[in-house]
């Protein structure tokens, strides 16, 4: 048997939209040899119908779609000038930056088939990683708290040591006062520079943003590594300068980054992603680990594991599941230790 050719399809010729007869020039996408072979066909190349194969039909449909799009503005009364179109496009881009997270469980045949295909080992591995990541989140937040507290102590030691040296040298009070003010202002300027030039999202407490994120609203760049470095560095220099600031908000923000980053097994900022394990790369699991991270942040800020767990349950996430309650207590406990 020779090669089977696809059955030809008859498509009505379409003219320009303003052609009342509908018999304007239409593009024949078929090869020239095919047109020559079809010339004896009733209607001919200049008749009302053109014989086409499936590939040619798809191309004609795309051309017709572009024609309809060109005339959609006149039909629907949309904006015709480029300035209004650009403003509408910019508004859509701003809206896309706040897309909602998909926390709903997938309920379809494909998902059920994928779950049935998982082995007992896969379920055990995912469960072990859930508990293991909870411990890792607590350890990481404990290290972050230790680093920030050490930086604050160093800055305070430098500031008060410089002033004490001048006092011991019997320097004038004005010189001592100017030294203290200059050092404090310099440290505050560094903290402000983190928020102004490194990452504007690092400004403020961080708790409202994390609550917004955990309740389903995506804030682009909130959990970026640069954001948390600016946040933690800014709070260290702010406290070192003598400003009235606390560590709770930045540590909650930092805990969210640690939880989300560890559960993703990768980082966009550092440019890597592990092939396995890859159990928790979805919005629902990421939400749970971010909530655990915020609990660990409160725990290391105040040395209160139970308080951190209650913060995540009552204030942080509205989707805090009961199955992760003990894991949410394990991470703050490890971080507090």
Break the chain into its structural domains and give their ranges.
144-336
DSSP string, 59-104: HHHHHHHHHHHHTHHHHHT---SHHHHHHHHHHHHHHHTTPBP--S
- What span, in angstroms and rounded, lies between the C-alpha atoms of 30 and 178? 85
Highest mean pLDDT among 118-122, 124-128, 179-183, 248-252: 179-183
- What span, in angstroms and rounded, lies between the C-alpha atoms of 70 and 98? 30
Name the β-bridge partners of 52. 9
In the predicted model, is pLDDT for residue 48 greater than 60? no
- What span, in angstroms and rounded, lies between the C-alpha atoms of 122 and 95? 38
Name the β-bridge partners of 49. 12
Which positions ≥6 away from 309 have C-beta within 8 Å? 295, 299, 325, 328, 329, 332
Calculate the average pLDDT of the chain. Answer: 76
Q: What is the pLDDT of residue 54?
A: 52
In the predicted model, is pLDDT for residue 19 greater than 60? no
* Residue 214: Cβ-neighbour burial (10 angstroms; 0-12, 13-18, 19+): buried
Structure tokens at 255: 């805990």
In the predicted model, is pLDDT for residue 36 greater than 50? no
Q: What is the pLDDT of residue 57?
A: 55
Of 151, 179, 150, 149, nearest to 166 (Cα)? 179
- What span, in angstroms and rounded, lies between the C-alpha atoms of 231 and 233? 6
Region 203-213: mean pLDDT is: 84
Q: What is the pLDDT of residue 161?
A: 92
Q: What is the pLDDT of residue 22?
A: 43
CA dihedral 300→207→261→277, nearest 10 degrees, is 90
Neighbouring CB atoms inside 10 A of 91's CB total 10
Q: Which residue has the higher pLDDT, 92 or 334?
A: 334
Kindly state which CATH superfamily the domain 144-336 is placed in: Clc chloride channel (1.10.3080.10)
CB 264 within 8 A of CB 109: no
CB 240 within 8 A of CB 153: no
Q: What is the pLDDT of residue 238?
A: 92
In the predicted model, is pLDDT for residue 270 greater than 60? yes
- 98 membership: H or E segment, kind and range: none
- What span, in angstroms and rounded, lies between the C-alpha atoms of 313 and 298? 12
Share of the chain above pLDDT 90, in %: 17
Distances (CA, A) of 31 to 35, 40, 76: 6, 16, 36
Taking the model in full, what pTM does it have? 0.65
Q: What is the pLDDT of residue 280?
A: 79
In the predicted model, is pLDDT for residue 49 greater than 70? no
Q: Which residue has the higher pLDDT, 178 or 264?
A: 178
Q: What is the pLDDT of residue 304?
A: 87
Which range (44-58, 215-229, 266-280, 307-321) has the least confidence?
44-58
Using one digit for the tens of pLDDT, what is the confidence trace for 59-82? 666 665 555 444 444 444 454 567
Using one digit for the tens of pLDDT, what is the confidence trace for 283-315? 778 888 888 899 899 999 888 888 888 888 887
Cα 306–chain centre separation = 29
């Amino acid at each position: 048997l020779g090669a089977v050719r696809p059955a030809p399809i008859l498509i009505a010729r379409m003219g320009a939209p303003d052609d009342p007869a509908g018999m304007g020039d239409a593009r024949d996408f078929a090869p020239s040899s095919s047109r020559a072979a079809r010339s004896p066909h009733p209607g001919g190349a200049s008749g009302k119908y053109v014989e086409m194969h499936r590939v040619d039909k798809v191309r004609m449909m795309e051309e017709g779609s572009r024609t309809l799009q060109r005339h959609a503005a006149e039909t629907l009364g949309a904006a015709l000038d480029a300035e209004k179109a650009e403003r509408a496009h910019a508004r859509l881009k701003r809206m896309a930056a706040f897309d909602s997270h998909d926390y709903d469980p997938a309920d379809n045949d494909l998902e059920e088939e994928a779950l049935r295909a998982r082995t007992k080992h896969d379920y055990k591995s995912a469960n072990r990683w859930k508990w293991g990541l909870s411990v890792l989140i607590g350890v990481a937040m404990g290290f972050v708290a230790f680093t920030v507290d050490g930086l604050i102590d160093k800055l305070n030691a430098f500031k008060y040591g410089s002033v004490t040296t001048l006092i011991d040298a019997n320097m004038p009070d004005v010189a001592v006062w100017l030294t203290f003010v200059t050092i404090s202002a310099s440290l505050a300027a560094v903290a402000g520079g983190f928020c102004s030039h490194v990452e504007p999202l690092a400004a403020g407490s961080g708790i409202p943003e994390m609550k917004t994120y955990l309740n389903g609203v995506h804030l682009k760049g909130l959990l970026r590594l640069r954001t948390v470095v600016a946040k933690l560095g800014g709070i260290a220099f702010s406290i070192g300068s003598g400003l009235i600031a606390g560590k709770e908000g930045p540590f909650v923000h930092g805990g969210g980054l640690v939880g989300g980053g560890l559960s993703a097994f990768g980082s966009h900022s550092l440019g890597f992603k592990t092939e396995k394990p890859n159990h928790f790369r979805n919005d629902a699991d990421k939400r749970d680990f971010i909530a655990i991270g915020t609990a660990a942040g409160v725990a290391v800020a105040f040395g209160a594991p139970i308080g951190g767990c209650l913060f995540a349950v009552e204030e942080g996430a509205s989707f805090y599941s009961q199955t992760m309650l003990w894991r949410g207590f394990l991470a703050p406990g490890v971080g507090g230790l």
